[in-house]
Every structure is written in structure tokens, then in C-alpha cells.
Structure 1
Amino acid sequence: MAYLDNIRTFIRVYELGNMSSAARDMRISAAVASARISQLEEHLGVRLFQRTTRMLNPTEQGNIFYPGARKILDAVDEAEAEVNEVTLVPRGILHVSAPLGVGRRLIAPEAAAFRAEYPLIKIRLRLSDRKIDLAMEGLDVAFFLGIPEDSSLRIRKIADCQRVLCAAPAYIAARGTPDSIDALRTKHDCLNLRFPGATEFQWSLQTRDGVKRIDVSGPFECDDGDILTDWALQGQGIIMKPLFEVSDHLKSGRLVQVLPAHPPVPIQMACLYSHRRKQDPKARLFIDFMVARMTKSMGEIVL
């Protein structure tokens, strides 16, 4: 097991490019991570990383060793998955990511119910609205909204989520209601979700002539979708959000829908998982459980 631990540590250091980040990810100290790398280097008789006070880069031998090490761990994980499936006692740690709104409103509320059914599975949930790299971040399952960029992963579609444009009554009272797409673009403040690496900075709205993509602008941008909702509630502008994220605010009247004749194009909700020959049973159980609960929850939300 010590040798496997050393290989796991090498892979996380290689993928994250930083000893401290890898140690935090694995919940060990940086000293333990460094010691494991040193043990592995001593066993192989080569240096796997060039270390300086500021940088850590893989050597040629490290680059050669990584693909084989990755295959070793994948094979071990698949073997463990087969054993778990035969014994019907799935166990272990499951690393899951999701956008903030999806995680807070649809996944986190159901986590306790999942643990009640499968008490030997531990959940590590990370929430972020930025793009996630499944392999580089050591994730087993990644829920997302939109279109995935990595075609090497398996995808399970959950639903097409209805989206709405909405604003606070205070904003409408001060600025008026946009009566056209052009008015939305030229006369109103729109609150945008933006983060490093984001590729979509336009809103896609439905018209009689098809989808129209427009550039919008406003005083605030953020990489946290819930903060955009908070700003909208304060009367700072118009937001485009999945309906499940703002339905309670719409029902209470704290937000009102705008431009209902030109609703945003629905956005796909799905989850990604690794393309292994044998899927980890705890990942499959978690996906099946959450997809059923999420589908039911979203089916109950209407304008």
C-alpha cells in the first residue's frame, strides 16, 4: 500500500504542479507528500521532479513515468470497483463537483439521504461556477450546466433547464421594463457570470426568427452566480438564471420576470464521469440517486 500511496502522491503532484496543493488535495502534510516522492524516486533510481524554491517541474523521467503510473491506479481502481460490486458493499471516498447553484439547491440537500442509504461512502463536495477538469482535480463525478469540452469523458444528461431573465421590482421602478431585445442590450444593466477561461459572454434569447445572441453589459460581473442573484435582489440589474435557482424569489415577488416573449435558450444539466471499462459502483450509485432526486425537484418547479 505504501508504494501505491507514493504513486498516488506523484500523480497528484504531477497533475497539480505543486507539492502543497497536492498535499491539501490528499489531506496529508506537505512533508509527507515530499517524503513519498523521495521514496518513489529512490525506488526508481531517478529524479521525477526538478525542485527549486519557487518551482516544481517534472523531469524527462517524470513525464515518462506519469502515463504508466496513471494506468496502474486506473487498473487498481477498476479492480476495487469490481470487488465492491461483487460484495455489494460500496465504500470509500467519492469526490464530486458541481456549480454553486446546483450544489447548494439540488445536491447538498440530498446528501444526508444518500449517506443514510450508503453509510460507508464518504462525500467530498466541491462547489464552483468555473470550468472543472475531472482528471486534473481528482474528481469522480462532475455535475455541470452547459456543453462539456472534454469528449473523452462519459456524460449523462439530466435535463434541459429552463432559464429566465429577471430583476427586482426596485430596478424596474427605477429603470423601466425592457420592451425589446435591443432595449435590453442598449438601455439596461445586465449582471454577467464571468470567470477566467469562460467562453460565453453573450446571452442567447429565443425569437420568432430563431435564436439571437446579444452582447450585454452592466456595472457588475462575478464568477459566483449566487452573488449575481444577490445583486439583482438589491436592484442592481437584470440577471439570466436557471429557473430552479430563482423560482422562490419569483414566487415571493422579490424578483419579476422580464422579456417573457424572448426567454433564454434552455441550458443542459448533466454530469461527467471517467471513461473506465468498469465504472466505480459508488459513483454509479451516487449518480443514479442524485439524478432521480434532481429530476423530481426540477419537475416540480414551474413559472
Structure 2
Amino acid sequence: MSYLESLRVFVRVVELGSITAGGRDLRLSPAVASNRIKDLENRFGLRLLNRTTRKLTTTEIGRAFYDHARRVIETLDEAEALVSSFSGKPQGVIRLTAPLGLGRRLIAPLIPPFCKENLGVEIRLRLSDRNVNIVEDAIDLAFFLGQPADSALTWRKIGDCPRVLVASPAYLAATGTPGTPDDLARHNCLLLRYPRSPEYFWTLQTPDGPRKMMVSGRFDTDDGEVLTEWAMSGHGIANRPRYEVAEALADGRLVQVLPDHPPLEAQFGCLTPHRRLQDPKVRMFAEYAVRELRPVF
């Protein structure tokens, strides 16, 4: 492995806080990743990382070395992107992230055709309903429901995503159907929650404008598709993107609740760190995804 490749390992290990995680991100075993770090330390005769059984931190010189190594890697990536733009043949890895359900249904099917047309490109897709730090995790393109206000990112809208409140016919037969937003207070609301999650209320559309409704339930999850399964199984009311529950609504497994007071629409789009905007392979995938997904919305 070259010196530059060892630098990549070191940078990812520091960013992810773990030799195992850094190696996995670069498709290396923990042993190989650890050896690459040792090679760097032996090269300089200095310890770059402090390791304990529970924590990995940089030494003072390790932190300074990381700052310079990261800039070297970024400069190299930009140089490769420039060459790729002239050659017309995109090369390298694209790191994507998306929410679980949206990623499975909409993003994952786009990847094989794109890679078939661009043989020099590798795509690594990470799916999570939790908030992702796009810059720290070195994400090239993040598909997102909502519109974050992070000025370090560029937002490209793909479409509006209507949301609906849904429950099973069995649940509504047993508990009654809400007639007004205030009725939600006596229902088991199924919530998407995780540490620092914002979903402790639902914002519904009313004739007087958006209204925040404090909602609660006996259980929650960080996986949106689990919410849909719970709703279909008769456990409560869920707030879901319409496209995710369209089939269940059509075949009667779910019923729309409070159709005159739907949740606010979410915007669906992709986020890109400013420094990666000119990478042709990232730009190509973003344009391809926008073209393929806009008809869905």
C-alpha cells in the first residue's frame, strides 16, 4: 500500500474515531488498517494516536498531522476529479446516504444501472433514518426529506413529498377515528425518534395555517418502515410519506386519518458539500438521480 493510501487510512480512522470503522469504510480489515497506522508512526518515529480499549484519540502531533493529511487527500481528490472531467470517464468512489425507506425504495435501484454505464465508479450507500454529519462522514451526496439550514451544504430540490396520517381499519374500529387534530391526544401515535430527534410533535395543515400538535405514544423507533408495519398491524397512527404507504392505502391495509388536516409536505432533494460540487462523478449521479426521481413526485 502506498504512502498516500496510508494517509487515507489515517484520515478516515481519525474522522470515524475507530480503526475498525475507518478500515471498514475503506474495505480493509482492522488488522490491515492498524498496520497502516503503525507504518506511518514508524516512518516518523512518533505516536500519532493514543489507543485504549474504549477510546482512540490523536496525540498533539497526530492532530496537526491529521489537519495537513486531510488537505492533501482533498487536494488529490480534486486533482483526480479534474482529470476525470477532461477524460470523460468518471473514476473513483461516490459515498451516498439516504433515509432507510427512501433509500431502499428509490435510491438503491438507481445504483446498478449507473455503475453499468460508468465502469470506473464505485458506490457506497449508507442508509439511516438518523441525522448524518455529511462533512465529518465524508459523504458526497445525501438524499434528504426536509430542508436543512446548514450553510456548508448545497441543497438541490427534487420534488415535494406529501405526508399522510395513517392507521389500520382494525385500530380505528377499536379506538374510534379522530375527527379533529385535538383528538390525536387520546391516540397511540407511532413516532420516529432517536437521540436528538426533532419528532416530538406533528405539524398539520389547518384553515388557519400550520398547527403544531404535541403527540405521544407507547413506543417509537428510529426506522420509518417499522412505523408503517406497526400501523398496518393495528398499533396506532403513523405520520408517513405518501409514496411509502400508497400501496397499503390502495388495498385497504391502511386508512388515511384526518384527510382534511394532512401533515405539512416535506421537500425531497439532495445535499452536497460545497467542496465536492465540481467532482464530475458526483455531479453526474446527482443529475441522473434528479432526472429519474422527479417523475415519482
Check the 8 A contact 2:17/2:56 in 1, yes or no: yes
Equivalent in the alignment of 1:208:
207
Change (3 A) 1:16 1:163: same
Is 2:165 the counterpart of 1:165?
yes
CA deviations 1:74-102 (Å, max 9, x no partner) are 11111100111100011222111100121
Q: How many Å apart are 1:277 and its aligned residue?
A: 6.6
Check the 8 A contact 1:165/1:264 in 2, yes or no: yes
Q: How many Å apart are 1:156 and its aligned residue?
A: 1.3
Alpha-carbon distance between aligned partners in 1 of 2:258 and 2:50, rounded to the nearest angstrom: 57
Q: How many Å apart are 1:288 and its aligned residue?
A: 0.7
Name the aligned partner's letter for residue 144 of structure 1. F
Alpha-carbon distance between aligned partners in 2 of 1:297 and 1:159, rounded to the nearest angstrom: 8
Equivalent in the alignment of 1:244:
243
Check the 8 A contact 2:155/2:270 in 1, yes or no: yes
Equivalent in the alignment of 1:267:
266
Equivalent in the alignment of 2:127:
127
Matches within 5 A, 1:162-201: 162-184=162-184, 186-201=185-200
Alpha-carbon distance between aligned partners in 2 of 1:93 and 1:64, rounded to the nearest angstrom: 26
Aligned length: 297
Alpha-carbon distance between aligned partners in 2 of 1:27 and 1:95, rounded to the nearest angstrom: 13
SS class of match (1:210): coil
Is 2:165 the counterpart of 1:150?
no
Q: How many Å apart are 1:275 and its aligned residue?
A: 1.3
Q: Which stretch of structure 1 is more off in the superposition, 35-44 or 2-11?
A: 35-44
Name the aligned partner's letter for residue 71 of structure 1. R
Q: How many Å apart are 1:278 and its aligned residue?
A: 5.6
Equivalent in the alignment of 1:87:
87
Q: How many Å apart are 1:116 and its aligned residue?
A: 3.0
Check the 8 A contact 1:93/1:124 in 2, yes or no: yes
Alpha-carbon distance between aligned partners in 1 of 2:113 and 2:160, rounded to the nearest angstrom: 25
SS class of match (2:195): coil
Alpha-carbon distance between aligned partners in 1 of 2:277 and 2:226, rounded to the nearest angstrom: 40
Check the 8 A contact 2:180/2:258 in 1, yes or no: yes
Equivalent in the alignment of 2:256:
257
Matches within 5 A, 1:1-303: 2-148=2-148, 150-184=150-184, 186-276=185-275, 279-298=278-297
Name the aligned partner's letter for residue 9 of structure 1. V
Alpha-carbon distance between aligned partners in 2 of 1:230 and 1:280, rounded to the nearest angstrom: 39
Which consecutive residues of structure 2, in runs of 5 or more, have no partner in the other structure?
none
Equivalent in the alignment of 1:301:
none
SS class of match (1:24): helix
Alpha-carbon distance between aligned partners in 1 of 2:75 and 2:46, rounded to the nearest angstrom: 24
Alpha-carbon distance between aligned partners in 1 of 2:27 and 2:111, rounded to the nearest angstrom: 21
Alpha-carbon distance between aligned partners in 2 of 1:93 and 1:267, rounded to the nearest angstrom: 29
SS class of match (2:47): coil
Check the 8 A contact 1:50/1:57 in 2, yes or no: yes
Name the aligned partner's letter for residue 103 of structure 2. G
Check the 8 A contact 1:100/1:225 in 2, yes or no: yes
Check the 8 A contact 1:81/1:278 in 2, yes or no: no
Q: How many Å apart are 1:234 and its aligned residue?
A: 0.5
SS class of match (1:119): coil
CA deviations 1:183-207 (Å, max 9, x no partner) are 11x2211100001221231100011
% identical aligned pairs = 51
